Amino acid sequence: MKRIETDPHIQILGPVQATSCGIEIDLGPPKQRAILALLALRAGRHVPLDEVIATLWAGQSPTRAANLVHTYVARLRQVLEPETPRHRRTNVIASVPGGYRLAVGVGQLDLHAFRAEVREAVSLHEHGQLTGAFARFGESLGRWRDPQVSELAALLIEQDDIRPLRQEFLAAALNYVGLGLELDRPEAVLPVAEQLALTEPLNERVQARLLQTLARIGQRARAIERYAEVRRRLRLDLGVDPGPELSAAYREVLDARLTASATQRPSPAHAPPWRWAAPLIDELTGRSADLAAVNDLLDGYRLVSLTGPAGVGKSALGLAVAEQQRARHADGVAVVDVTNVRTGPALERAVTAVVASSPRASTGPPVPLVRQLTDRRLLLVIDNAELVTDATADLADELLRGCPGVTVLLTSRELLGMRYEAVYSVRPLRTDPEPGSSAPPPAQQLFARRAIQVQPNFRLDEATVPGVTAVCRALDGLPLAIELAAACLRTQQLDALVEVVADPLHWLGPPRRGVPSHHRSLHAAVWRSIELLDAAELRCFTGLGAMPADFDLAAGAGAGAGTGAGAALIGDLHAVQVLLDRLVDKSVLEVRHGPAGRSYHMLGTVHALARQLFQEGGYAVAPPSARCTCRCHLGD
């Protein structure tokens, strides 16, 4: 008898179906369909009998579960290969030792075809064939009749493969939308962008793509409304503000609106010297008031200094302000990071190198920096300038006197002390709830945002809020310390982290790359402040290690008695006050004024370093990098 082969086509990217010669096959009851769905999900791979049983009966399985599975498989074989003799019906569902395997080709299973088309689209994209890649991604998405694979999820209740499968669709769809925007075809990708936004309401990348798509087709009002809704849901459901990608997309919407209303902006032909590579994750949290205040200062002053203690977020705030200021200066913004600069000549070379890279830079023989900037309208940002304070003051004075169109924004732990300098003190993030608001404080929001990066399922809820609050308070609301602590959740439990932050300088230092060396650990960040101190200031600081974090002037005068660190200053209140005020100017101390008069406060992280130096007997001649022996700083 001649064997008649069947060629069933199986679909699981939507309702689970099988067809033969274009006619739908009756796959039988749910558990029978579930077996085919599981085998199709693992097509080509061995699926053990025990796993089939566990999938069909969550919890307690019946005594005759194995016999029932064999019966279901036999019935599936019959409907999938009706023309094949009963004992030879293994061409589609093959028997393997201890289980089964679905044997189908790429053209017989929609999941296989989808993956093949995605691989082809990725290859085309990598070879620069954007139009072909866009078309192939579109074809692959067309195979999904239900991106949520609802029936598959219902049949395979405890199957871990469902979420990764949905992520495959999400990745392909995002690639499709991104390519559509790149090829200037926003109308073509709008339906997919809208579908993704509905099914992934808290996915910021998805929502960002929708905003960009709406902006490109002129629906800016709708995009702004969408952003407001997403921001509300993020705050309500996750307790966080929109991240960098979504915020950038929103700015694109606003820029498009400004362009549409004929707002003047620098033309692409004269692009400003924007030498700072925009950070990937440094979206500000809880800094809207600071942003507004600094922008207001720049409207009235040509020299604005952002000061504050180690890890408080001066650079992040300064760079965010710089981005907002670009359109206000005809020649844009030049950002110079002087983290590793130690001398005046090196500082001037660093600034000159950035200015010389701009489109309007002079050609020919080298020209003095002031002459290059004489007729420029430019915001110059000098970042991390605390180790070259005197040189920065000299350079800023020279530029501001000789270049009327130049404004300088400085980030430093020490103010310059210029008579025309406006100083803005950057404070730690608030750790206590704002009266009348249900939103988490900014410090907890930042912790949650960074925690999600290493632990995607992390949420601010009744179980985690107490621990997160304890961590943020122990770290004084310092953004750098909070980010380092949240990164520790990759290997630590939140309860254990509460114990770790009791000694943050030594234990809080997960690996960090792509940041300045003094931001790679909390100890490195705080220790950089010590490099600012002269010998007398350092003796005073070390003596304060024997004091509580909060003290008054009289107590400060007795700091270090008997240790040699501060004994020479005992009784001389004026001399002590001068030293303490110098420590305030260098962001090592805070001064407070209350009913009882002047008092001082030292942040916990800074106080921990003072205690360390005091216990070690003071700081003599070894440079800071040679003295640091904590685990977190090794190799920085």
Full set of structural domains in the chain with CATH: 1-173 (1.10.10.10), 184-263 (1.25.40.10), 268-425 (3.40.50.300), 523-633 (1.10.10)
Backbone dihedral region of 384: left (phi > 0), alpha (psi from -120 to 50 degrees) or beta? Answer: left
For residue 122, pLDDT over 80 is answered with yes
Report CA torsion sign: 15, 16, 18, 23. negative
Q: Which residue from 542, 550, 524 is spatially nearest to 630, judged by alpha carbons?
A: 524
Averaged confidence pLDDT in the chain: 81
Q: Quick one: pLDDT at residue 488?
A: 86
Q: Quick one: pLDDT at residue 508?
A: 57
Q: Buried (b) or exposed (e) across 536-558, using 16+ Cβ within 10 A?
A: ebbbbbbbbbbbebebeeeebbb
Q: What is the C-alpha to C-alpha distance for residues 318 and 324, in angstroms, rounded to an integer? A: 10
Q: What is the C-alpha to C-alpha distance for residues 221 and 204, in angstroms, rounded to an integer? A: 19
**Cβ atoms 222, 190 nearer than 8 A:** no
pLDDT category of residue 123 using cuts at 50, 70 and 90 = very high
Provide the 8-state DSSP code for 234.
I
* Token code pair at residue 5: 């082969």
Q: What is the C-alpha to C-alpha distance for residues 168 and 122, in angstroms, rounded to an integer? A: 13
Q: Determine the distance from the C-alpha atom of residue 346 to the mean position of all C-alpha atoms in its chain, rounded to a whole number.
A: 32
- SS3 letters across 595-613: CCEEEEECCHHHHHHHHHH
Report CA torsion sign: 27, 32, 37, 43. negative
Q: Which residue from 511, 532, 327, 573 is spatially nearest to 415, judged by alpha carbons?
A: 532
3-state helix, strand, coil in the chain (%, to 5): 55, 10, 40
Q: Quick one: pLDDT at residue 395?
A: 94
* Token code pair at residue 505: 């300088």
pLDDT category of residue 260 using cuts at 50, 70 and 90 = very low
Q: Quick one: pLDDT at residue 564?
A: 44
Q: Quick one: pLDDT at residue 272?
A: 39
Helix (H, G, I), strand (E, B) or coil at 367: coil
Q: What is the DSSP string of 193-244?
A: HHHHHHH-TT-HHHHHHHHHHHHHTT-HHHHHHHHHHHHHHIIIIIS----H
For residue 635, pLDDT over 60 is answered with no
Provide the pairing of β-strand 378-383 with 406-411. Answer: parallel
For residue 513, pLDDT over 70 is answered with no
For residue 364, pLDDT over 80 is answered with no
For residue 264, pLDDT over 90 is answered with no
The larger pLDDT score, comparing residue 438 to residue 590, is at 590
Tell me: the pLDDT tens digits for 383-440?
999 989 999 999 999 999 999 999 999 999 999 989 999 999 999 999 998 887 778 8
Provide the total of helices (H) and of strands (E) in the chain, helices listed first: 27, 14
- Looking at the DSSP bridge assignments, the partners of residue 334 are 380
Q: What is the C-alpha to C-alpha distance for residues 388 and 414, in angstroms, rounded to an integer? A: 10
Tell me: the pLDDT tens digits for 202-255?
899 999 999 999 988 888 878 888 888 888 888 887 888 888 888 888 887 876
Tell me: the pLDDT tens digits for 449-502?
889 888 888 888 889 999 999 999 989 999 998 988 888 888 888 888 887 777
Question: Percent of the chain scored above 70 by pLDDT?
Answer: 84
User: In the Cβ-directed half-sphere of 566, how many Cα atoms lie within 13 Å?
Assistant: 30
- Looking at the DSSP bridge assignments, the partners of residue 422 are 304
Q: What is the C-alpha to C-alpha distance for residues 241 and 230, in angstroms, rounded to an integer? A: 9
pLDDT category of residue 347 using cuts at 50, 70 and 90 = very high
Longest CA–CA span in the chain (Å) reads 114
pLDDT category of residue 357 using cuts at 50, 70 and 90 = low
**Cβ atoms 39, 100 nearer than 8 A:** yes
Q: What is the C-alpha to C-alpha distance for residues 552 and 544, in angstroms, rounded to an integer? A: 11
Q: What is the C-alpha to C-alpha distance for residues 253 and 210, in angstroms, rounded to an integer? A: 11
**Cβ atoms 336, 354 nearer than 8 A:** yes
* Token code pair at residue 475: 């770290």
Q: Buried (b) or exposed (e) across 271-289, using 16+ Cβ within 10 A?
A: ebbbbbeeeeebbbbbbee
Q: Which residues contact 476 (CB under 8 A, 6 or more apart)?
A: 428, 603, 604, 605
- Looking at the DSSP bridge assignments, the partners of residue 336 are 382
441-455 mean pLDDT: 90
Whole-angstrom Cα Rg for the chain = 32
- Looking at the DSSP bridge assignments, the partners of residue 381 are 335, 409
604-613 mean pLDDT: 86
Tell me: the pLDDT tens digits for 56-92?
887 778 888 899 999 999 999 988 888 888 888 888 8
Kindly tell me the burial class for residue 470, based on how many C-beta atoms sit within 10 Å of its own C-beta (0-12, 13-18, 19 or more): middle
* Token code pair at residue 243: 């991240």
Q: Quick one: pLDDT at residue 529?
A: 81
Q: What is the pTM of this model?
A: 0.54
Helix (H, G, I), strand (E, B) or coil at 337: strand
Q: Quick one: pLDDT at residue 393?
A: 95
